Amino acid sequence: MSEEKIYAFPNGCTPGNPVTFDPEICNGCNLCVDACQVDVLIPNPVKGKPPLVLFPEECWYAGCCEGICPRPGAIQIHLPLPQRVRWKRKDTGEHFRVSR
């Protein structure tokens, strides 16, 4: 068993993860924080680090954050799990799902 601390956290909300950041690409410029019309994100207390998702279930999935981001790949949007759509390859009949 690991020695990791166990915290008394309340239940989170759904979706818990509408937006993720690649810390290697994001330079914490916070343009996305200011473009999000719902104000889902807050700046990271550590300068230069990716913003934090404070109000995940308020996300409208408009993609304004990624639309304004100058660094491709820094932001990824993830549709909520129950809203992932499937498709089928016509010639092989294989099934796929939007999986990010």
Partner 1 sequence: MNWRQYVKKYGLIEWPYPVRYGEEREIEADVLVLGGGIAGCWAAISAARKGLKVVLVEKGATVKSGSGGSGCDHWLNTPHPGTDVTAEEIVGWELEMTEGYCNALSRYIAARESYETLLEMEQMGGVIRDLKDEFKGAPFRDEKTKFLFAYDYKSRIHFRVRGSTFKVALHKECKRLGVKILDRVMATGLLTEGGRNGARVVGATGLHCRTGEFFIFKARAVVNGLSRHQRNWCFSTEIRGNANFRPTQIVGDGHAMSWRAGAEFTMMEKSLPTSFASGNVFQPYSHGNGINTWVPCTMVDANGKEIPWVDRDGRILKTVEERCMPAPGQRFMGERTQGYTHKRPELIPDLEERIRKGEYTLPLYADLTGMPEHERRVIWGLMVGEEGKTRVPVYIYYNEAGFDPARDLLQSYMFLGGDPMRGSVRPQDRTGGEIGDAGGLVTDWNLMTNLEGYFAAGDALFAANYHYHAAATGRYAGRKAAEYAEKTKFSPIDRKQVARERRWVYRPLENRDELEWKELNAAACRIMQNYCGEYKNEELLKLALISLRELQEQDAPRVCVDNPHKLMRTLEVYNILTCNEMIVHASMARKASSQILGFTRLDYPELDPPEWKKWILLRNEEGSIKTRDLPLDFWKPLKENYEKNR
Give me the residues that bind partner 1 (CB under 8 A), please. Answer: 5, 7, 9, 12-18, 21, 23, 34-39, 42-45, 50, 52-64, 66-68, 77, 79-80, 82-83, 85-91, 96, 98-100
The residue among 25 and 96 lying less far from partner 1, judged by its C-beta, is: 96
In whole angstroms, how close is the CB of 91 to partner 1 at the nearest point? Answer: 7
In whole angstroms, how close is the CB of 6 to partner 1 at the nearest point? Answer: 10
Judge residue 47's burial from the number of C-beta atoms within 10 Å of its C-beta, 0-12 exposed, 13-18 middle, 19 or more buried: exposed
89: which 2 tokens?
Answer: 């390859």
39: which 2 tokens?
Answer: 């104000």
The size of the chain, in residues, is 100
The residue among 27 and 34 lying less far from partner 1, judged by its C-beta, is: 34
The residue among 1 and 6 lying less far from partner 1, judged by its C-beta, is: 6
Through-space distance between the first and last CA atoms of the chain, rounded to whole angstroms: 31
Question: What whole-number distance in Å separates Cα of residue 46 and Cα of residue 49?
Answer: 6
